[in-house]
A and B are shown apart, each in its own frame.
Chain A
């Protein structure tokens, strides 16, 4: 069964807009929550990651918001650019370092 549920499956945003992707998990033992970005024909690459001791982490235009009590975390892409068009995966792992991925969100940024 899928341990991390991700939504939406796809989204379209105008250039300069905000993209928001949500993920939810059940296993409270998870202690590492990365987001990966994947371009067509390429391998996933780490975008940003958070641990449950903080509620928010920002790197440039990308922000993770983390709600431990709700067991949810989300990725916000501010000022979306055409170059951000990609598939985004949330993931979670615990001490076994085994990443459980969400199903992915295809983001299309229209110029």
Chain B
């Protein structure tokens, strides 16, 4: 069973389009995250949700809108995609006691 899953694995789209990435965790964790990994492999947090409530928003452009329909799911919707949005996006969830964050396999977004 995959602990944290993301779909799609790859996403290729044109500038100006709107796209969504979905994330699901079956670990029973309350806190979930979105991270962006750029072409130099630098990982940066974008958002965090705790039990469906937004708790961290790292000055991400408002073209990015996370949504958490329930505590097992955290989706990321991106409007008006730009070339600079090309990156790998990782979803993660956090274990309450150990603080360990479990990452999904990533979604490679390419904006042409």
Contact = CB atoms under 8 A, between A and B. Distances in A.
A87 interface: yes
Contacts of B42: 101, 103-104
Interface in B59-112: 90, 92, 94, 98-106
Nearest to B31: A97
Main secondary structure of the interface of A (DSSP, over half): strand
6 nearest A-B pairs in the assembled complex, by CB-CB distance: A43-B103, A101-B43, A104-B41, A44-B103, A46-B100, A43-B105
A32 B41 contact: no
Interface string A11-42: 00000000000000000000010101010011
Nearest to B105: A43
B56 interface: yes
Nearest to B45: A98
Given A43-B104, A99-B45, 10 more contacts: A41-B105, A43-B4, A43-B92, A43-B105, A45-B102, A96-B55, A98-B48, A101-B42, A103-B40, A104-B43
A93 interface: yes
Contacts of A104: 41-43
Contacts of B99: 32, 34, 49, 93, 97
A66 to B, nearest CB: 16
B48 A97 contact: yes
A89 interface: yes
Main secondary structure of the interface of B (DSSP, over half): strand
A57 B14 CA distance: 47
Contact of B41 (A42, A45, A87, A97): A87
A44 B101 CA distance: 9
A46 B110 CA distance: 27
Contacts of A43: 4, 90, 92, 103-106
Nearest to A44: B103
Nearest to B101: A99
Given A34-B100, A44-B43, A97 B94 contact: yes
A96 B43 contact: no
B107 to A, nearest CB: 10
Interface string B22-64: 0000000001000000001111110010000001101000000
